[in-house]
Amino acid sequence: MKFGIMVNEGPYTHEASDTAYLFAKAALEKGHQIHRIFFYHDGVNNSTRLTEPPQDDRNIVARWSKLAAEHKIDLVVCVAAALRRGIRDENLAEGFRISGLGQLIESGIQADRLVVFGD
């Protein structure tokens, strides 16, 4: 099965980002595909390289970057939501790119299921 994933919450605000990451990882381990992961609303905060969690805490942004690199996953950040939060291309962590809502629509069309995490 091919999944599209949408993440609407920030990395340390709620559990949505952690849950989305774990879902994606488990789906890949079971042989499924991830078409794209789209970060929207506060979810765009998962993409900033300016995040510096304490050493004893998980680095959610680095997790997303590593997952994308290992599995060639397209990590797309909504341009409007990103700009509202001061996130620009130069602030993006490795593997993320900024684009528009058309990428979310395409993912919904191309994937068998679009799974949404967060409000």
Marked catalytic residue, from 24, 44, 68, 78:
78
Q: Quick count: other Cβ atoms within 10 Å of Cβ 19? A: 15
Retrieve residue 83's tokens: 């700009």
DSSP 32-52: -EEEEEEE-GGGGGGGBTT--
Helix (H, G, I), strand (E, B) or coil at 109: helix
30 counts as catalytic: no
Torsion angle of alpha carbons 107, 112, 117, 119, nearest 10°?
80
| Catalytic positions | 78
